Structure 1
Amino acid sequence: MFELVSCCFEECGCRCDQAADDEFDLIANSELVKPILLHRLARQNIGWFSDKTICHHHIEDWNLNQVEGIYILWHKSDYCAEHERFHMRALYVGKGNIGARFRAHWKNKDFSEELLIYFTYVALPNRLSKYIEQLLLDLYNLPLNKSENPGRKVLCQHFTQFEVD
């Protein structure tokens, strides 16, 4: 007999007390000599910027003008009091000069519903950033990515208060 375990968040079917979806890691492990794992992408260099409807973005505070790599934009969509973690839904994946890309997103994308956008990034060479970006797009439906986004899964992670502060 087995116990049915309910999801913390019905939107994606995930549980914040378990590891995230492992399909990205399995594919990266099979295709790369030194794979970067999803947990690392989601847990390095966490920051935020605000929507233009509430204030200036503060992107320059993060000193990202010379950083090239891969990044993910996240929305803090809920909180699990039982496990004391925020449910973070990935909205977008991109690559390039991170400071310039964030300023362009702030200027051109509508984040008025989210108000505060969290980001994670890893500094990487362009070739590896392209690979990671496409793998994420192939697996996950990222609502703000408009092209080359055939993925169907929802990409979620669970951040502690310490990580989002």
Structure 2
Amino acid sequence: MRAAFQRLLLVASLIGAAFAAAPAFAAKNEIGRACDSAEHCLPQNQLRYYEVLRQAIGQHWRPPDSAAADSVCTLELDQAAGGAVNAVRAIEPCGLDAAARDSLLAAVRAASPLPYQGYQQVFKPRLRLAVHVPEPDEREGRVKRWWRQVRER
């Protein structure tokens, strides 16, 4: 009788463990399906870090008029602890012409050291960062009113 009871407890614990793991497995699969790029799968604090990096680079980048507002270029950054940029390169395909690409790479170097304080936990010495060409209004320092409202939400 005691052996039967122990087997029953073992089976119940195995079933309970399977049900406990099922939601995590399903959530992992849902995340995998929802991710269309590596950046969209990152935790919230790492996404915030990427946004801070984009802002730091954007403060130094004045794209030429030849850069279309919907263009995107992915950069590969090698940085030291503390945010100093050791190397930066554009990953192909980059949606920028040569002049805009060169100005973006120069802006990254000018922004060095990139923000580091407060982001030590999510810091990576090598990372890829997608940078979008700002809208014409943003290039001049003005943000469209509707866009400002969307950002504030």
- TM-score, normalising length: structure 1: 0.32
Structure 1 or 2: more helix by fraction? 2
Task: Please identify the structure whose Cα radius of gyration is greater.
Answer: 2
Structure 1 or 2: more strand by fraction? 1
- TM-score, normalising length: structure 2: 0.34
